[in-house]
Amino acid sequence: MKYNELNVSANKSKKRVGRGISAGQGKTAGRGTKGQGARTGKKLQATFQGGQRALVQAIPKNRGFKSLRSPAQVVYLDHLNAFKGKTVDNFSLFEAGMIATPFHTVKVIARGELTAKVTLNVQGASKSVQEAITKAGGVFNKTATPLPKSAKEAEKADK
């Protein structure tokens, strides 16, 4: 059976309870006998446990805020001396083993000195790093985070 072959009515009629014995939901109309749940006007929260302290109230609350954004991968300025006269991007940093994955944000932070002239194409760099790169004769270009290729794109590239 296919999804488009299902016979389902869009507007299912509401079950009418309490309409006599032969109707199937007569007498107590599925409410059982007596008690708070059998009465009209019953409004209990889903967490109510009959007067016992609810589990929801007993558990401590999580306070604060947790960001879902992953922090940038950090590369230090003095590590860029290894790329003398080359273009540095996420993939070259990944191949050199300086970052875990080329598909995350990379930020270069000042530490040590830059002696080599490099062209830096990453997502971020501190102001002092940008000044150090231009002082060494290099260029900093802010680029977007590269996205991984899908399986279909990779298959097309292999052919």
Give the pLDDT confidence score for residue 95 in this predicted structure.
94
Closest CA to 80 of 135, 148, 145, 144: 135
137-143: long-range contacts, CB 8 A cutoff, minimum separation 24: 138/114, 143/89
* Distance between CA atoms of residues 73 and 91, nearest Å: 13
Query: What does pTM read for this prediction?
Result: 0.57
Ordered structural domains, the chain, with CATH: 73-142 (3.100.10.10)
Q: Are 101 and 72 in contact (CB under 8 A)?
A: no
Question: Could you tell me the mean pLDDT of each successive run of 10 residues in the chain, 159 residues long?
Answer: 86 89 89 87 84 89 88 94 91 94 94 92 95 93 91 77
User: For the purposes of burial, counting CB atoms within 10 Å of the CB of 17, is it exposed (0-12), middle (13-18) or buried (19 or more)?
Assistant: middle
Contact 124, 90 (CB under 8 A): no
pLDDT value at residue 87: 93
